[in-house]
């Protein structure tokens, strides 16, 4: 199967029908494609990145004017076919002895593994041997059709966690977060959803004319990273590795192809792939790589290299909003390059198209939460993206930062006093209490985003947090913290409760909620409002 010429991408069209298309059909205007239809959420995110990478490689706009032209009038299928054609030889999924998509250039031997091991959540060999696959059972995937096998391979290479001695992590580290700009309207075309995430040539420091098919990592000998090998830093290889990184050495086994039903999508196929071979010490990416679709934590002193943001226990919520959509100065989290680019001229263009300042755009943030080799969870979260004038942007970010800091301080007090209500010696008790924090973030999220919108439409000369917004926020976070304390601490059997201990913890929480510096600052802002009135 050729991944640029054959019909293998599962999609939904605007009339609700589901079919498979070739990449050059993504911009068809007759019954247009509106979304991908992958059988798993991690595959869905991976296919978006596959197509964005393909457009960036073969069809990147020269400048913003070129980008806007293709936004208003998508390219024809013939134009995309022509653009993708030079890469065609590199996108053969299988080959007996030649290059194959995202697979080691020459690997005659290697450890044979079942295809199921390509899936990031698959239990490892020791887990299966010890019968510890309680939640993710082994033996559930017998084989995969070429479409799902290609997607599984891309998903692993782009998210690759640590996989044992010499099995390298992805170019962004294991389990990176990916952030994409998406239209609010789910009926928007797939072309619009993809094109929003393609950088101009100037911003990617290269154009399709600068690339050659041999720049793709599987079109030449792998840069081995064993004792005699090397690490791979920016400048050692083409920038294309950012979109097509290949840390794992893998080749599909072609000797045992058979007819059967794909365990992932359920389709019948005459080419069921069941095994692959792998070896360690593939490309070891090192140095200051910066993937355009991933947010990074930047060292304010510029001494340490930036670190990609990863999925983390407890998931994503509005406390991450500044870091993934703008910049969170408290920890150095900085939005992905594509988001930063969108927040400039592209956001203003889209806003003009919508005719309103609240642009019809959202942020899609997703990724694995990895504990070394173990996948703990897959997170998939939607957040608003706002159009804020340049002149007001810094003050807007400062105002949002005040709200988030206050919420973080409150949730820390809530967590501490819930434990104090539960246990005599809370400091000695270990365990996961993230559910308490999550309940707070979820309970206050609707108001936060409402206030965020109110802040975004303030006059451009606004210099500080509006008093009414401060009043609403401080009242809500205090009230929710007390409600959630009662809910978590008093919801058990009354006979098992130490009411003296609980009342003490409740009183201390109330005291803290009126002494936290960030809340007192908001109180003062709100008070100023009353005095002026």
Convert the pLDDT of each residue in 310-330 to its tens digit: 988 778 899 999 999 999 888
For residue 360, the model assigns a pLDDT of: 79
Q: Residues 68-84: what's their mean pLDDT?
A: 96
Place of tokens 């920890």: 331
Q: Residues 121-142: what's their mean pLDDT?
A: 71
* pLDDT above 80 for 7: yes
For residue 293, the model assigns a pLDDT of: 98
Least confident of 55-64, 126-135, 378-387, 450-459: 126-135
* pLDDT above 70 for 265: yes
For residue 532, the model assigns a pLDDT of: 47
For residue 431, the model assigns a pLDDT of: 79
Q: How confident is residue 138, by pLDDT bands cut at 50, 70 and 90?
A: low
Question: Residue 349 carries which DSSP code?
Answer: H
Q: Residues 374-381: what's their mean pLDDT?
A: 90
Confidence (pTM): 0.92
Q: How confident is residue 128, by pLDDT bands cut at 50, 70 and 90?
A: low
Q: Per-residue b/e over 34-67, b at no fewer than 16 CB within 10 Å?
A: bbbbbbbebbbbbbbbbbbbbbbbbbbbeebeeb
Place of tokens 């998210």: 159
Q: At what angle do helices 390-422 and 434-456 cross, to 10 degrees?
A: 160
* pLDDT above 90 for 430: no
For residue 250, the model assigns a pLDDT of: 96
* pLDDT above 80 for 95: yes
For residue 356, the model assigns a pLDDT of: 42
* Beta carbons of 474 and 406 less than 8 angstroms apart: yes
The string of pLDDT tens digits covering residues 55-74 is: 999 999 999 999 999 999 99
Which of residues 379 and 357 earns the better pLDDT score? 379
As a whole-number percent, the residues of the chain with pLDDT over 70 amount to 95
For residue 194, the model assigns a pLDDT of: 98
* Beta carbons of 42 and 120 less than 8 angstroms apart: yes
The string of pLDDT tens digits covering residues 170-223 is: 999 988 999 999 998 888 999 999 999 999 998 887 778 888 899 999 999 999
* pLDDT above 50 for 533: no
The string of pLDDT tens digits covering residues 494-503 is: 667 788 999 9
Q: Residues 81-85: what's their mean pLDDT?
A: 96
* Beta carbons of 223 and 232 less than 8 angstroms apart: yes
Q: Residues 439-463: what's their mean pLDDT?
A: 94
For residue 390, the model assigns a pLDDT of: 87
Q: How confident is residue 135, by pLDDT bands cut at 50, 70 and 90?
A: low
Question: Residue 49 carries which DSSP code?
Answer: H
């Amino acid at each position: 199967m050729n991944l640029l010429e054959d019909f293998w991408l599962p999609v939904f069209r605007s009339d609700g029908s589901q079919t498979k298309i070739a990449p050059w059909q993504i911009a068809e205007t007759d019954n247009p494609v509106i979304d991908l239809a992958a059988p798993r959420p991690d595959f869905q995110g991976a296919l978006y990145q596959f197509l964005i990478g393909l457009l960036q490689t073969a069809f990147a706009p020269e400048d913003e004017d070129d980008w806007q032209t293709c936004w208003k009038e998508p390219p024809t299928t013939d134009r995309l076919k022509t653009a993708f054609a030079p890469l065609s030889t590199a996108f053969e999924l299988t080959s007996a002895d030649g290059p194959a998509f995202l697979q080691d250039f020459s690997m005659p031997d290697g450890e044979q593994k079942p295809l199921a091991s390509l899936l990031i959540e698959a239990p490892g060999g020791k887990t299966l041997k010890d019968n510890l696959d309680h939640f993710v059972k082994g033996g559930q995937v017998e084989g995969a059709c070429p479409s799902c096998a290609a997607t599984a391979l891309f998903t692993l290479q782009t998210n690759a966690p640590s996989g044992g001695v010499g099995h390298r992590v992805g170019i962004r580290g294991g389990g990176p977060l990916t952030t994409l700009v998406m239209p609010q309207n789910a009926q928007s075309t797939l072309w619009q959803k993809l094109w929003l995430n393609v950088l101009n040539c100037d911003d990617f420091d290269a154009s399709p004319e600068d690339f050659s098919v041999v720049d793709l990592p599987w079109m030449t000998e792998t840069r081995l990273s064993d004792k005699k090998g090397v690490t791979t830093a920016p400048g050692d290889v083409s920038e294309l590795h950012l979109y097509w990184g290949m840390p794992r050495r893998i080749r599909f086994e072609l000797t045992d192809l058979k007819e059967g039903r794909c365990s992932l999508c359920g389709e019948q196929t005459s080419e069921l792939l069941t095994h692959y071979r792998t070896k360690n010490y593939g490309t070891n990416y090192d140095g200051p790589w910066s993937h355009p679709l991933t947010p990074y934590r930047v060292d304010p002193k510029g001494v340490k290299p930036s670190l990609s943001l990863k999925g983390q226990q407890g998931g994503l919520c509005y406390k991450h909003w500044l870091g993934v959509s703008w910049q969170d100065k408290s920890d150095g989290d900085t939005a992905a390059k594509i988001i930063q680019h969108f927040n400039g001229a592209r956001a203003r263009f889209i806003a003009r198209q919508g005719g309103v300042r609240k642009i019809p755009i959202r942020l899609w943030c997703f990724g694995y939460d990895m504990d070394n080799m173990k996948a703990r969870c897959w997170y998939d979260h939607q957040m608003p993206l706002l159009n804020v004038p340049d002149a007001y942007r810094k003050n807007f970010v400062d105002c949002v930062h005040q709200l988030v800091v206050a919420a973080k301080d409150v949730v820390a007090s809530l967590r501490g006093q819930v434990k104090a209500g539960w246990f005599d010696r809370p400091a000695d008790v270990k365990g996961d209490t993230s559910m308490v924090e999550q309940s707070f973030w979820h309970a206050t999220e609707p108001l936060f985003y409402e206030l965020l919108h109110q802040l975004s439409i303030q006059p451009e000369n606004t210099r500080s947090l509006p008093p009414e917004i401060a009043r609403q926020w401080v009242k809500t976070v205090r009230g929710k913290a007390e409600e959630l304390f009662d809910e978590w601490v008093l919801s058990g059997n009354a006979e098992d409760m130490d009411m003296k201990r609980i009342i003490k913890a409740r009183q201390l929480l109330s005291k803290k909620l009126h002494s936290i510096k960030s809340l007192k600052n908001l109180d003062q802002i709100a008070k100023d409002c009353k005095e002026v009135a």
